[in-house]
Structure 1
Amino acid sequence: MSAPISICVYCASGPVDQRYLDLAAEVGTAIAAGGHTLISGGGNVSMMGALARAARAGGTHTVGIIPTALMEREVADTGADELIVTDTMRQRKQLMDERADAFITLPGGVGTLEELFETWTGGFLGMHDKPVVLLDPEGFYAPLLDWLTARMRDGFVSQRAMDRLLVTDSVVGALELATGR
């Protein structure tokens, strides 16, 4: 088993189907089972809430980082072991980046994609060497991955960039990629 690390998980904070809530809970449970720390966006609703509750139920340390502007909208995770409230989204993301040893992205919307792309870009530009994992068990991101592959053919996306994004369809695979196991 690998040494415990801090894993930042990006996912939806808005209403989604139960299967996505179940996926988030499964990831939270797996993070706890590995003895890892969860870093999340600090919300207590939707996938973000299911993730954090499952991680805590498994006995792991949870860190929620949320900007003041989202305290009510995402219903701040006041049950987090550490709830850090920032002034801005940029501060939130900076702290998430600094505190995390690895990143896992679950299905999500525009905010989740923005977080994924920023972290992924930082990695392939050499600003960090932390694993960036895309967990895609149902092909949620297949159209995006197809688009990126087409952009490789056009010369807009490099193979080096694509190699930096670790894609898996299983929770076990995501934890293995994140922890380097």
Structure 2
Amino acid sequence: MSTSSALDTTEFERMLRSYHAGDPYIRKIADEQAVILDEINAEADVARRSALLKDFFKVEGDEAEKQKARVVIVPPFFCEYGFNIIIGGDLFIHKGCTILDVGPVRIGARTLIGPNVQIYTPTHPLSPEERNGLDGPEASKPIIIGKDCWIGGGTIILPGVTIGDGVTVGAGSVVTKDVESRTVVAGNPARFIKSV
């Protein structure tokens, strides 16, 4: 991520609280990251794409663990920044995944994410006057997905949700609240099905 001293960084630093998404500095960073992501999506060689992704995301662990980590994403993949996504090793994300990483998104090792999964950290005021269309404030809430999870295709994970280790989320679910480790949840909103 490059920075520019000519632009005001205040809104970028406020992203975890409340900020304005149209701020020129934030837009500049998002545009720069979009160029890098386009190159990653266009890379046909799986090993090369994996290496690019490990530089684009934050990989947990030391340099040796980072090199050993396997990161497989079937393009197209979309996110806003990339550097707000923290991953463990051996991550698989299927085609069409969208991660709105205004706030941090942590994904544990050996997690599998199905096609067309949507992970959203941004939030907006509920009052339409305060929301004020494109010019209003936004905020974000971090999302945590544990190790050894399986997130079924078409799942939507909402801001502030923590999903424990070893969780299976049924396809098409909308996860609106925290999920305990080693459970299966499904539905809209996602509900407990069983422990595993």
TM-score category (smaller protein)? under 0.3
CA radius of gyration, larger in = 2
> Which structure dedicates a bigger proportion of its chain to helix?
1
TM-score by length of 2: 0.22
Which structure dedicates a bigger proportion of its chain to strand?
2
Which protein, 1 or 2, shows the higher relative CO under an 8 Å CA cutoff with sep ≥ 6?
1
Instruction: Name the TM-score, length of structure 1 as normaliser.
Output: 0.23
